[in-house]
Amino acid sequence: MSLKSQLLKAGVATQKQARRAQHQKRQEQKSTQKSAAELAQQRRAEQAERSRQLNEQRQAELRERERQAEIQQLIETHQISREGGEHNYQFVMNKRITKIVVTEAMISPLAKGQMGIVAWQERFYVLPAAALERVAERDEDVIVVWHKASQTTAAQDDPYADFPIPDDLMW
């Protein structure tokens, strides 16, 4: 015999109380099932969000590696050889004066902005302006020296306005 029938037979509970208890038990089971389904749905949503974030992170890392590979390829294909250079070309990098050895034919184009210097993987490379523009599209921080033609006008009260700085000035 079940507990319900035993209680009814003993007269401790009435039929109405038994039905009410049974109804209440079914309602609790339904709410438990609903909450379990809601928890499962919430877990699926959280897992989907974690997967989406991980996918975004992987995509960002992939784009960064592709960008690095493009810069590497541009430098390798367009670098100008400094072999046989006898002249020091000095420039400021990270608040320090740095110098590299270049050929005499490179000094004037470097000063005029026709060439520039790129720091890549702890080495310096000289590139033509066209390649520098393509590198700048990907990462401007790689370019160390590039004297672009600027449209700056001298101040009217500048006493040295009539004395331009020569492009081939070595310091």
122 pLDDT higher than 80: yes
Dihedral angle over CA of 162, 99, 119, 72, nearest 10: 110
What does the pLDDT read at residue 39? Answer: 84
Residue 116 has a CB neighbour count (10 Å cut-off) of 23
Kindly give the pairing relationship between strand 143-145 and strand 123-128: unpaired
Read off the pLDDT band of 2 (50, 70, 90): confident
DSSP annotation of 157 reads T
| Cα–Cα distance, 24 to 54 (Å, whole number) | 45
pLDDT of residue 171: 64
pLDDT tens-digit profile of 38-77? 888 999 999 999 999 999 999 999 999 999 999 999 999 9
Q: What is the band of 156 on the pLDDT scale with cuts at 50, 70, 90?
A: low
Above 90 in pLDDT, residue 128?
yes
Taking the C-alpha atoms of residue 152 and residue 92, their distance in angstroms, rounded to an integer, is: 21
pTM here?
Answer: 0.61
